Amino acid sequence: MRVLHVCSELFPLLKTGGLADVTGALPPALAELGCDSRVLVPGFPAFMNNVIDKELIADLGAKFGAADVRLYLAKTPDSSISLYVIDAPDLFDRPGNPYADADNHAYADNYRRFALLGWVAAQLAGSLDSEWSAEVVHGHDWHAGLAPAYLKAEEIKTGQKLAASIFTVHNLAYQGVFPYRVLAEIDLPIWFFNIHGLEFHGQVSFLKAGLFFADKITTVSPSYSREIQGEEQGCGLHGLLQARSHDLSGVLNGVDPAVWSPVTDSLIAANYNTRSVAGKLACRSALQEYCGLAKQDEKPIFAIVSRLTEQKGLNLVLAGIDEILSRGGQLVILGSGDAELEAAFSERAAANPELMAVQLGYDEVHAHRIIAGSDVIMVPSRFEPCGLTQLYGLSYGTLPLVRKVGGLADTVTDSSLENLADGTASGFVFNGFDVAEFGAAVRRAFALHARKAEWKRVQKYAMQQQLGWDAAAKAYYELYQQVSN
Ligand code: ADP
Ligand code: GLC
């Protein structure tokens, strides 16, 4: 089975969020099942400068406003993933964030940049590479949304279906919506601009194209696949998602143990495992030292590693800081995004340097240090398609405190008395998006932390969860087989 993943990020080369963790982990997990999957990415500098064994596959000339487009086949530095990279300097050779300029404004030509990605994907299902062609094109998020549309256009033109398509929604809130006029520049039939097509309130939606034209749609957790069929979380697309509910399923993300395992993680102060969490104490102490926090063993360290955006529900944490600090708990935050949240958290940390530490920006090593060294990882999201940090928390015995929504609801079980009695508790879960409910969950974490033996039992159970990528890889593989028959 030959599968082409189409995406804009891939760990460890380029990452702004969990999408990169997924696209970096899924192809090797699929390879274990004998599935030959390759990845297609835009030639951002992070890819062009860091892949190895680059081999020219095709010279595509001028396309979508780029004077000179070339396609290379290469390998990731650890050689585990075969990567097609679209070298189009006019569109992709820009420093920093892959989607936006230094002032964080989305690039005005994003429609051309990601149309090229979708168009090349469809060509790779044809004869573009004489030695390999995709049987299934698997697009991830709106950046790849046009891939199924180009495949459909080709099918209509030639009467022959080049490949089946799967479209995975990692986040319905990011849609890639552009004015109608862009359609003239992206080489798709004009009549695709239709309510039964890629038209969305008079504009061109790359996300809707993926949802409409793909053979199957997946989301990254079962709960999210249900939630987005309702008005509240459907981002205006719930009608289409309901209509396609038979083709829509949820496949829960996993944890890549090569990157996130306390047993082998080389970025943390000491390794540990379920049988002996002594190493975790060393990680805890190293975290306090690195952050300049007071050394204390008695009260829990709460943590956040997150994009600071509306989605992540961090206003609850801001409002609940006193609930943590007044009980002697400590709070460590790593994140970047919303300027107001950045300033508000930094201000609170400056006023309480022994109890609270904030680091702004993106820092992979610090993320590992925090996940290993803290006691509670908080993810109080308004919505969460899957969420990976709570999964990393479970693996590292850092109990997740989450809101019961999306993938968070599917992966964490509250430490209620009955769940403790049953031995199924793995963290702290609250329901409503509400400061009082968040505060109660924080108090539950303090209460459990004070009962050392019970805390250890929950921690052990959390660490024993089977969170690898094998189950998801199997589910995707089955889907590939279904659509390609
Ligand atoms: P999302 O994709 O919505 O941001 P996820 O929980 O799926 O949320 O994935 C977030 C990923 O990004 C995790 O791997 C997390 O460790 C990482 N991450 C988030 N913020 C930072 C940061 N400031 N520095 C380093 N890693 C971060
Ligand atoms: C998105 C979602 C997140 C998910 C990630 C990887 O960024 O916000 O919940 O874990 O994609 O699928």
Q: Is the CB of 385 under 6 A from ligand 2?
A: yes
What is the average pLDDT value for the chain, to the nearest integer? 97
Print the domain residue range for 362: 278-463
Paired sense of beta strands 136-140 and 199-200, if any: unpaired
- CA 425 to chain CA centroid, Å, is 25
Instruction: Give the pLDDT confidence score for residue 79 in this predicted structure.
Output: 80
* Encoded tokens for 111: 């429609």
Q: What is the pLDDT of residues 389-443, one digit of tens each?
A: 999 999 999 999 999 999 999 999 999 999 999 999 999 999 999 999 999 999 9
CB-based pocket (< 6 A), ligand 1: 17-19, 21, 305-307, 334-336, 362-364, 367, 386-389
By most ligand atoms within 8 Å of CB, the mutation choice from 5, 7, 19 for ligand 2 is: 19
The owner of tokens 């989301």 is 219
Q: Is the CB of 415 under 6 A from ligand 2?
A: no
Whether the bond into 400 is cis, omega within 30 of 0: no
Measured in residues, the chain has a length of 485
324: phi then psi, degrees, rounded to nearest 5:
-80, -55
CA–CA gap between residue 305 and residue 308 (Å, rounded): 9
Does any domain span residue 201? yes
- Cα 98 to averaged position of ligand 2 atoms, centre (Å): 17
pTM (2 d.p.): 0.97
Continuous segment of H or E residues that includes residue 347:
helix 339-351
CA angle 476, 206, 190 (to 5 degrees): 120
Instruction: Give the pLDDT confidence score for residue 219 in this predicted structure.
Output: 98
* Encoded tokens for 445: 């974490």
Q: What is the pLDDT of residues 184-218, one digit of tens each?
A: 999 999 999 999 999 999 999 999 999 999 999 99
CA torsion through residues 398, 25, 143, 157, sign: negative
Instruction: Give the pLDDT confidence score for residue 104 in this predicted structure.
Output: 86
Neighbouring C-beta atoms of residue 431, cutoff 10 Å = 12
By most ligand atoms within 8 Å of CB, the mutation choice from 389, 392, 396, 411 for ligand 1 is: 389
Both 430 and 403 in one domain: the answer is yes
Alpha-carbon separation of residue 298 from 27, 391, 446 (angstroms): 43, 25, 10
Domain count, the chain: 2
Does any domain span residue 259? no
Both 374 and 351 in one domain: the answer is yes
Strand partners, 305: 334
Both 205 and 309 in one domain: the answer is no
Instruction: Give the pLDDT confidence score for residue 96 in this predicted structure.
Output: 83
Both 248 and 328 in one domain: the answer is no
Contact 409, 336 (CB under 8 A): no
Instruction: Give the pLDDT confidence score for residue 6 in this predicted structure.
Output: 98
169-181 b/e with 16+ CB inside 10 Å = b? Answer: bbbbebbbbbeee
* Encoded tokens for 32: 């274990």
Both 238 and 314 in one domain: the answer is no
Q: Is the CB of 170 under 6 A from ligand 2?
A: yes
If you take atom 5 of ligand 2, which residue's CA is the nearest one? 18
- Cα 335 to averaged position of ligand 1 atoms, centre (Å): 8
Q: Is the CB of 442 under 6 A from ligand 2?
A: no
Instruction: Give the pLDDT confidence score for residue 326 in this predicted structure.
Output: 97
Both 245 and 380 in one domain: the answer is no
pLDDT above 80 for 293: yes
114: phi then psi, degrees, rounded to nearest 5:
-90, -15
For the chain, first and last CA: distance in Å?
A: 11
pLDDT above 90 for 243: yes
pLDDT above 80 for 81: yes
The amino acid sitting at 65 is G
Both 290 and 428 in one domain: the answer is yes
If you take atom 1 of ligand 2, which residue's CA is the nearest one? 170
- 47: domain CATH number is 3.40.50.2000
pLDDT band at 342 (very low <50, low <70, confident <90, very high): very high
Strand partners, 63: 66
Does any domain span residue 200? yes
Does any domain span residue 182? yes
Does any domain span residue 262? no
- Cα 394 to averaged position of ligand 1 atoms, centre (Å): 15
Both 221 and 356 in one domain: the answer is no
- Cα 396 to averaged position of ligand 1 atoms, centre (Å): 16
If you take atom 12 of ligand 1, which residue's CA is the nearest one? 17
CA–CA gap between residue 71 and residue 324 (Å, rounded): 52
